[in-house]
A and B are shown apart, each in its own frame.
Chain A
Amino acid sequence: MTMAKTMEPTRRSSSMKRTRRWQTALHYLILTVVALFFFLPVYYLIVGSFRPSSEVLSGLSGFVPTNLSFDNYAGVFDHLNSDATGYFGQFALVSIIVTTAVVAGSLIVNSMAAYSFARMKWRGKKVLFLLVIILTIIPFEAVALPLYYMFSGQRDTVVIQAIPFIANAFSIFLFYTFFLDVPGEIEEAARLDGAGPFRTFFQVIVPITKPAFATVAILTFLAQWGSYLWPVLMVSDPTARPLPLAISIFQNQQPPEWGQVLAFGTMFIVPVLAVFLIFQRWFVASISSSAIKG
Chain B
Amino acid sequence: MTTQTQKIPSPAAAPAKRQSSAILTGHRFAGPLFASPALIGLAIFLVAPFVLAVVLSFYRVQLNSPRPARFIGFEQYTRLFTDPDLSAAFGQALLNNFTFALIVVPVQTVLALGLAVLVNRKLRGMVVFRTFIFMPLVFPLALTAVIWRLIYSRGDEGLLNAILGLFSGGALSSHDWLGSPSTALGSIIVMSIWQSVSFQMIIVLAALQSVPTELYEAASLDRANKWQQFINVTVPGIRNTLIFVALITTIFSFRLFDQVYLLSRSGSVDRGSTETVMTQIINTGFDNNNVGQAAAMTVIFMLIITVIAIIQRAAVRQRGGV
Taking CB atoms, residues of chain A closer than 8 Å to B315 are none
Contact string against B for A residues 31-68, beta-carbon threshold 8 Å, 1 for contact and 0 otherwise: 11011011101101100100000001111101100000
Taking CB atoms, residues of chain A closer than 8 Å to B161 are 59
Chain B contact residues: helix, strand, loop or mixed: helix
Question: When chains A and B are docked, how far (Å) is the Cα of A115 from the Cα of B34?
Answer: 8
A35's nearest neighbour on chain B, judged by CB, is B132
Taking CB atoms, residues of chain B closer than 8 Å to A288 are 202-203, 205-207
Question: When chains A and B are docked, how far (Å) is the Cα of A56 from the Cα of B132?
Answer: 22
Interface-side segment among A72-80, A81-89, A225-233: A225-233
Taking a contact as CB atoms under 8 Å apart, the answer to whether A143 and B53 are in contact is yes
Residues of B at the A interface (CB closer than 8 Å) are 1, 21-25, 27-28, 30-35, 37-42, 45-50, 52-53, 56, 115, 118-119, 121-143, 146-148, 150-151, 153, 156-159, 161-163, 165-166, 194, 198-199, 202-203, 205-207, 241, 244-245, 248, 251, 254-255, 257-258, 261-262, 278, 281-282, 285-286, 291, 294-295, 298, 301-302, 305-306, 309
Taking a contact as CB atoms under 8 Å apart, the answer to whether B157 and A59 are in contact is yes
Question: When chains A and B are docked, how far (Å) is the Cα of A52 from the Cα of B158?
Answer: 16
Which of A120, A132, A227 contacts B21, CB < 8 Å?
A: A120
Cβ of A16 within 8 Å of any chain B Cβ, yes or no, is: no
Taking a contact as CB atoms under 8 Å apart, the answer to whether B46 and A169 are in contact is yes
Taking a contact as CB atoms under 8 Å apart, the answer to whether B129 and A31 are in contact is yes
Which of B33, B45, B248, B281 contacts A164, CB < 8 Å?
A: B45
Taking CB atoms, residues of chain A closer than 8 Å to B21 are 120-121
Taking CB atoms, residues of chain B closer than 8 Å to A227 are 140
A62 to chain B minimum Cβ distance, whole angstroms, is: 6
B74 to chain A minimum Cβ distance, whole angstroms, is: 18
Taking CB atoms, residues of chain A closer than 8 Å to B128 are 35
Taking a contact as CB atoms under 8 Å apart, the answer to whether A34 and B34 are in contact is no
Which of A117, A128, A228 contacts B258, CB < 8 Å?
A: A228
Taking a contact as CB atoms under 8 Å apart, the answer to whether A146 and B50 are in contact is yes
Taking CB atoms, residues of chain A closer than 8 Å to B47 are 135
Known: A119-B23, A120-B21, A287-B199. A62 touches B159 (CB 8 A): yes
Taking a contact as CB atoms under 8 Å apart, the answer to whether A229 and B49 are in contact is no
Taking CB atoms, residues of chain B closer than 8 Å to A211 are none
Taking CB atoms, residues of chain A closer than 8 Å to B206 are 284, 288-289, 291-292
Question: When chains A and B are docked, how far (Å) is the Cα of A138 from the Cα of B304?
Answer: 11
Question: When chains A and B are docked, how far (Å) is the Cα of A165 from the Cα of B42?
Answer: 9
Contact string against B for A residues 172-199, beta-carbon threshold 8 Å, 1 for contact and 0 otherwise: 1000000000001001100100001110
Taking a contact as CB atoms under 8 Å apart, the answer to whether A27 and B254 are in contact is no
Question: When chains A and B are docked, how far (Å) is the Cα of A181 from the Cα of B28?
Answer: 23
Taking a contact as CB atoms under 8 Å apart, the answer to whether B140 and A116 are in contact is no
Cβ of A139 within 8 Å of any chain B Cβ, yes or no, is: yes
A145's nearest neighbour on chain B, judged by CB, is B285
Question: When chains A and B are docked, how far (Å) is the Cα of A162 from the Cα of B125?
Answer: 40
Taking a contact as CB atoms under 8 Å apart, the answer to whether A2 and B35 are in contact is no
Q: Could you list 10 further interchain pairs (A-B, Cβ under 8 angstroms) beyond the known A32-B129, A39-B135, A276-B138?
A: A6-B121, A137-B306, A198-B30, A225-B138, A228-B258, A228-B261, A233-B286, A247-B143, A284-B205, A292-B241
Taking a contact as CB atoms under 8 Å apart, the answer to whether B118 and A31 are in contact is yes
How many interface residues does chain A have, given as a range?
35 or more
B247 to chain A minimum Cβ distance, whole angstroms, is: 9
Known: A60-B159, A143-B53. A5 touches B124 (CB 8 A): yes
A40's nearest neighbour on chain B, judged by CB, is B159
Taking a contact as CB atoms under 8 Å apart, the answer to whether A27 and B118 are in contact is yes
Cβ of A269 within 8 Å of any chain B Cβ, yes or no, is: yes
Taking a contact as CB atoms under 8 Å apart, the answer to whether A109 and B141 are in contact is no
Taking CB atoms, residues of chain B closer than 8 Å to A119 are 23
Taking a contact as CB atoms under 8 Å apart, the answer to whether A291 and B302 are in contact is no
Known: A121-B21, A167-B41. A34 touches B133 (CB 8 A): yes
A239 to chain B minimum Cβ distance, whole angstroms, is: 20
Taking CB atoms, residues of chain A closer than 8 Å to B163 are 60
Taking a contact as CB atoms under 8 Å apart, the answer to whether A113 and B137 are in contact is no
Taking a contact as CB atoms under 8 Å apart, the answer to whether A57 and B282 are in contact is no
Contact string against B for A residues 84-121, beta-carbon threshold 8 Å, 1 for contact and 0 otherwise: 00000000000000000000000011101101110111
**What are 16 A-to-B residue pairs whose CB atoms are below 8 Å?**
A3-B124, A35-B129, A60-B163, A63-B159, A113-B35, A137-B305, A142-B278, A143-B50, A143-B298, A149-B52, A149-B56, A167-B41, A191-B25, A229-B258, A258-B150, A268-B140
Taking CB atoms, residues of chain B closer than 8 Å to A146 are 49-50, 52-53, 56, 295, 298
Taking a contact as CB atoms under 8 Å apart, the answer to whether A44 and B135 are in contact is no
Taking CB atoms, residues of chain A closer than 8 Å to B123 are 6, 24, 27-28, 31
Taking CB atoms, residues of chain B closer than 8 Å to A222 are 137-138
Cβ of A157 within 8 Å of any chain B Cβ, yes or no, is: no
Taking a contact as CB atoms under 8 Å apart, the answer to whether A228 and B140 are in contact is yes
B115's nearest neighbour on chain A, judged by CB, is A34
Taking CB atoms, residues of chain B closer than 8 Å to A6 are 121-123
Taking CB atoms, residues of chain A closer than 8 Å to B131 are 277, 280
Question: When chains A and B are docked, how far (Å) is the Cα of A87 from the Cα of B206?
Answer: 42
A221 to chain B minimum Cβ distance, whole angstroms, is: 9
Known: A143-B50, A229-B257. A251 touches B146 (CB 8 A): yes
Taking a contact as CB atoms under 8 Å apart, the answer to whether B27 and A197 are in contact is yes
Taking a contact as CB atoms under 8 Å apart, the answer to whether B38 and A145 are in contact is no
A110 to chain B minimum Cβ distance, whole angstroms, is: 5
Which of A145, A247, A265 contacts B295, CB < 8 Å?
A: A145
Taking CB atoms, residues of chain A closer than 8 Å to B46 are 135, 138, 143, 167, 169
Known: A44-B159, A113-B35, A226-B141. A137 touches B309 (CB 8 A): yes
